[in-house]
Amino acid sequence: MHLYLPLILLPLAALAREDPPPGWGNFFGSCENIKNTNARQENDSHFLIATCKSSDGEITTKLDLTKCFKNGDDATLEPENDGNAFAVLKEGSKRECSKCNVDMRPYRLEDPKVGPVLSCICRQGKGNMFKQGKLNQVVRNDGGYLRCFDHRGELVH
């Protein structure tokens, strides 16, 4: 019986790593003024800010992307609920990923569905690596509020 367990679990693990389902993200179609908090401040560059359409007009919110991505094994920030890509994992150590910037070029140059990309410097082994995550794949507009998975952004005043 135990010999068959890997044959069952491996395909399930592969399914769990697939991209979020279509329509899960796609905030880019109804939000504007998309940016991250001051990228010069290492501790704050992982908050996404945008003004999004709501039933009453527009709302500006900020979303902690620590709740949306994990530091992947390759050159990507991978979508994951509570992924902790920007967390300090050991007291006194640096963040997993920092110095992030929202890059709008992929939208302009490639496919409009791609939307903006979050570009960061992330820890990889003993060094650092430039990594990117597709924001439009994970973040959505929920009645004017930015949201990823079950995490809703906060109002910006």
In a domain, 132, yes or no: yes
15 lies in a domain?
no
The residue segments making up the domain with residue 145 are 21-155
Which of 25-29, 71-75, 94-98, 151-155: highest mean pLDDT?
151-155
Average pLDDT over the chain, rounded to an integer: 77
pLDDT for the residue 92 = 53
Global pTM value: 0.75
Nearest to 34 by CA among 150, 156, 120: 156
Q: What share of the chain is helix, strand, coil (3-state, %, to 5)?
A: 20, 40, 40
SS3 for 86-133, per residue?
CCECCCCCCECEEEEEEECHHHHHCCCCCCCEEEEEEEECCEEEEEEE
What mean pLDDT do residues 72-83 have?
88
Residue 110: what pLDDT? 52
pLDDT tens-digit readout, 126-145? 888 899 998 988 999 999 99
| pLDDT in the model for residue 6 | 45
Which one has a higher pLDDT value, 126 or 107?
126
Instruction: Confirm whether 8 is domain-assigned.
Output: no
Q: Considering the domain boundaries, does residue 9 fall inside one?
A: no
Q: Residue 80 — very low, low, confident or very high, per pLDDT cuts 50/70/90? A: very high
Q: Does 14 map to a domain?
A: no
Q: Please say whether the beta carbons of 34 and 104 come within 8 A.
A: yes
- CA dist 82 and 65 (Å) reads 9
Q: How many domains does the chain divide into?
A: 1
Tell which wins on pLDDT, 7 or 31: 31
Token pair, residue 126, equals 């003993």
| Contact yes or no for 120/143 (Cβ under 8 A) | no
Q: Which residue has the higher pLDDT, 75 or 90?
A: 75
- Residue 10 is assigned to a structural domain of this protein: no
Q: What is the predicted pLDDT for the residue at 124?
A: 82
- At 9, the pLDDT band (50, 70, 90 cuts) reads very low
- Within a domain: 73: yes
Domain with 93 in it: what CATH number?
2.30.60.10
Band of pLDDT at residue 43, cut at 50, 70 and 90? low
Assess if residue 7 is contained within a domain.
no
Neighbour-count burial of 114, counting CB atoms closer than 10 A to its CB (0-12 exposed, 13-18 middle, 19+ buried): middle
| Residue with the larger pLDDT of the pair 54 and 74 | 54
